[in-house]
A and B are shown apart, each in its own frame.
Chain A
Amino acid sequence: MMSVTVDEIAGTVLSIWRCSACGTASSRKRRRCPSCGADSIAADTIPAVGTVYAFTRTAEAAFLVAELAEGLRVLALAPSTAVLAIGDEVSLAAGDDGVIRAMP
Chain B
Amino acid sequence: MNREILIYDSEVCAFGIHTDHGGIECAVQTLLPLLRRNPTLAGRVDLVAAGTARMGRAEGRENGVAQSISEQAGLDGVAGLDVRAYCASGNMAVNEAIAALDAGRADVAIAVGVEHLSTTGEKGPLQPEAVGPENAVGFSPPVFYGLCASRYLYEAGAPPEALAEVAVKNRRQARTNPHARFREALTVDDVLASKTIATPLTLLQCCPPADGAGAAILVAADALTREERSDASVRVLGLGTASGSRFDRAPLTTFPEDTASATQAFEEAGVGPSDIDVAEVHDAFTINEVIAVEDLGFRPRGEGWRHALDPRARPVVNPSGGLLSRGHPLGATGLAQFDSVRRRLTESRDARLGLISEAGGLQVLGQVLSTCAVLAAR
CB within 8 Å of B: which residues of A?
1, 26-28, 34, 53-61, 63-65, 71-75, 77, 86, 97-99
Contact = CB atoms under 8 A, between A and B. Distances in A.
Nearest to B199: A57
Given A26-B248, A58-B198, A72-B249, A99 B146 contact: no
B126 interface: no
A97 B133 contact: yes
15 contacts: A34-B246, A54-B147, A56-B198, A56-B199, A58-B142, A59-B196, A61-B137, A65-B147, A71-B249, A73-B248, A74-B248, A75-B365, A86-B154, A97-B136, A98-B133
Contact of A58 (B133, B143, B248, B365): B143
Interface residues of B, number: 31
Contacts of A58: 138, 142-143, 146, 196-199
Q: Which 8 A-B pairs have the closest CB atoms?
A: A56-B146, A98-B133, A54-B151, A54-B147, A27-B248, A56-B198, A57-B199, A54-B150
B27 to A, nearest CB: 34
Contacts of A63: 138-139, 143, 146-147, 198
Given A57-B198, A57-B199, A99-B136, 14 more contacts: A28-B247, A28-B248, A56-B147, A58-B142, A59-B196, A65-B151, A65-B365, A72-B249, A73-B250, A75-B134, A77-B138, A86-B151, A86-B154, A98-B132
Nearest to A96: B133
Contacts of A64: 147
Contact of A60 (B133, B138, B151, B201): B138
A100 to B, nearest CB: 9
Nearest to A60: B138
A65 B252 CA distance: 10
Interface in B243-261: 245-250, 252
B252 A1 contact: no
A56 B143 contact: yes
A99 B252 contact: no
A86 B154 CA distance: 8
B287 to A, nearest CB: 11
A98 B365 CA distance: 16
A60 to B, nearest CB: 6
B232 interface: no
A74 B200 CA distance: 20
Contacts of A65: 147, 151, 250, 252, 365
A1 B135 CA distance: 12
Contacts of B73: none
Nearest to A77: B137
A28 B248 CA distance: 7
Contacts of B133: 1, 97-99
A63 B142 CA distance: 11
A94 to B, nearest CB: 10
Most chain B CB within a 10 A radius of its CB, from A1, A26, A60, A73: A73
Contacts of A54: 147-148, 150-151, 154, 252
A73 B197 contact: no
A55 B252 CA distance: 11
